[in-house]
């Protein structure tokens, strides 16, 4: 293994079997769930807005929405499977959410959008190597002052535990501090795909103990991957999983 | 007729194979070219939307016809990149003309 990424860590926590299909066996998913495609199109439209603001190009809401529609159409080159919501419903929620983001963004001083990073996994106080590979990821948005915004799409509000323990946000806080020497103001912006779509912003922090916990968890995940521990995690997420059929066949074998 | 040669290192580990034709032209095995990225695909769709071409089928047709390929999954990174440049240029010059006219 040459490196780990924050999405790999997150996927391993979600389901080690799914991780192995994607990253070990490199199996192309046979379809994309509508939720994933929708999340990607929203993400890329917000990144477009972020980049425009960074370059001081003011774009109106209409332009942002046309970018979103084009990004959605691009997603449809893959086979999209809808589970519950129709394309029209999803699109109208996306439009409503982006209008709100556009209004919110008026005062953003954007430093970067979809900013890639790569840092070693070390104990921040001693410099001791915890995992012998780097961790990579992307900051969705970096705005002044020292604020990292992580965008998530969800059908329901996030509870306190999910906010406090989100591993990706912990990794971003750790990486930002290592790169800049400053603590990040971490924010999770949840784009709620409800009947009345709205955005909830959860500010959060990661103190030293939380960072140590996150780094030790990454070490345990790294060791499990190296040992080839890829058991399935049956649950509600299987309904949308691209590898569900393959997984079932593998377990029955 | 072709002559196949195998390239090995000092430990006789196979590094690759090559074919030598009778005319002496050597075909060195090539790495498969990287495929178009998601970001490139999105960008092409955004450009098409600016050109008034919307909907996945219309957009796909425009891309496939421009590149003379049969499947969107066949498109390489460099093909996508040159198409982006071409269409960006087209949009820029249309904008310029609009301003001047």
The ipTM value here is 0.88
CB atoms within 10 A of CB B44: 24
CB atoms within 10 A of CB A59: 16
Distances from the Cα of A26 to the Cα of A23, A125, A156, A248, angstroms: 5, 37, 31, 18
Q: If you average pLDDT over residues B8-13, what whole number do you get?
A: 52
Cβ-based contacts of B91 with chain A (< 8 Å): none
Q: If you average pLDDT over residues A186-200, what whole number do you get?
A: 96
From A78, A46, A66, A59, select the one nearest B51 (Cα to Cα): A66
Among B41, B49, B54, select the one facing A77 at the smallest CB separation. Answer: B41
Q: If you average pLDDT over residues A44-54, what whole number do you get?
A: 97
Statement: residue B24 has pLDDT above 90? no
Q: How confident is the model at residue B9 (pLDDT cuts 50, 70, 90)?
A: low
pLDDT at residue B13, as a whole number = 53
Q: If you average pLDDT over residues A224-251, what whole number do you get?
A: 94
pLDDT at residue B30, as a whole number = 67
Q: How confident is the model at residue A94 (pLDDT cuts 50, 70, 90)?
A: very high
Q: If you average pLDDT over residues B78-90, what whole number do you get?
A: 96
Q: Which residues have a Cβ under 8 Å from the Cβ of B68 and sit 6 or more positions away?
A: none
Mean pLDDT rounded to a whole number for chain A: 95
Q: What is the pLDDT of residues A105-123, one digit of tens each?
A: 999 999 999 999 999 999 9
Q: If you average pLDDT over residues A231-242, what whole number do you get?
A: 93
Give the CA-trace dihedral at A193, A195, A200, A206, to 10 degrees.
Answer: -50
Statement: residue A225 has pLDDT above 60? yes
Under an 8 A CB cutoff, do B42 and A69 touch? no
CATH number at A3-249: 3.90.320.10
Residues of B with CB under 8 A from a CB of A: 38-39, 41-42, 44-46, 48-49, 54-56, 59-60, 72
From B48, A114, B93, select the one nearest B57 (Cα to Cα): B48
Strand partners, A122: A129
pLDDT at residue B2, as a whole number = 46
Cβ-based contacts of B55 with chain A (< 8 Å): 73
Range from A23-27, A82-86, B57-61, B62-66 carrying the lowest mean pLDDT? A82-86
Q: Residue A78's Cα: distance from chain center in Å?
A: 20
The answer to whether residues A95 and A89 touch, using CB atoms and an 8 Å cutoff, is no
What are the strands, taking DSSP E only, across B9-98? 14-21, 26-27
pLDDT at residue B78, as a whole number = 96
pLDDT at residue B10, as a whole number = 54
Question: Where do the domains of chain A lie?
Answer: 3-249
Q: Which of B42, B53, B61, B62 to mutate to test the interface with A (most CBs of A within 10 A)?
A: B42
Strand partners, A129: A122
Q: What is the pLDDT of residues A145-160, one digit of tens each?
A: 999 999 999 999 999 9
Cβ-based contacts of B75 with chain A (< 8 Å): none
Cβ-based contacts of A71 with chain B (< 8 Å): 42, 45-46
Its pTM stands at 0.86
Helix and strand element counts for chain A (H, E):
9, 8
């Amino acid at each position: 293994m040459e490196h780990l990424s924050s999405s790999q860590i997150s996927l391993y926590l979600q389901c080690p079997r799914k991780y192995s299909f994607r990253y070990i066996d490199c199996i192309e998913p046979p379809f994309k769930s509508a939720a994933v495609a929708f999340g990607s199109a929203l993400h890329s439209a917000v990144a477009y807005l972020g980049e425009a603001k960074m370059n001081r190009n003011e774009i109106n809401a209409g332009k942002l929405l046309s970018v979103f529609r084009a990004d959605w159409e691009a997603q449809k080159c893959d086979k999209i499977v809808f589970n519950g919501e129709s394309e029209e419903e999803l699109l109208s929620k996306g439009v409503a959410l982006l209008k709100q983001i556009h209004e919110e963004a008026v005062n953003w001083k954007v430093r970067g959008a979809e900013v890639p990073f790569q840092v070693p996994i070390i104990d921040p106080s001693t410099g001791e190597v915890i995992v012998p590979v780097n961790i990579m990821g992307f900051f969705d948005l970096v705005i002044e002052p020292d604020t990292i915004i992580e965008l998530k799409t969800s059908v329901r509000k996030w509870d306190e535990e999910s906010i406090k323990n989100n591993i990706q946000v912990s990794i971003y806080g750790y990486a930002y501090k290592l790169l800049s020497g400053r603590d990040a103001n971490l924010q999770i912006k949840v784009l709620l795909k409800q009947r009345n779509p709205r955005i909830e912003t959860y500010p959060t922090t990661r103190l030293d103990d939380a960072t140590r916990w996150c780094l030790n968890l990454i070490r345990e995940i790294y060791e499990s991957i190296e040992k080839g521990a890829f058991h399935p995690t049956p649950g509600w997420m299987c309904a949308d999983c691209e590898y569900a059929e393959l997984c079932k066949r593998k377990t029955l074998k | 007729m072709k002559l196949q040669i195998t390239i090995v290192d000092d430990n006789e580990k196979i590094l690759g194979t090559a074919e030598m034709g009778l005319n002496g032209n050597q075909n060195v095995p090539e790495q498969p070219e990287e495929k178009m990225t998601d970001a490139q695909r999105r960008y092409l769709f955004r450009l098409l939307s600016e050109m008034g071409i919307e909907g996945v089928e219309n957009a796909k047709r425009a891309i496939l016809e421009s590149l003379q390929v049969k499947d969107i999954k066949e498109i390489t990174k460099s093909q996508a990149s040159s198409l982006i440049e071409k269409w960006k240029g087209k949009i820029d010059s249309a904008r310029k003309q609009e301003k001047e006219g």
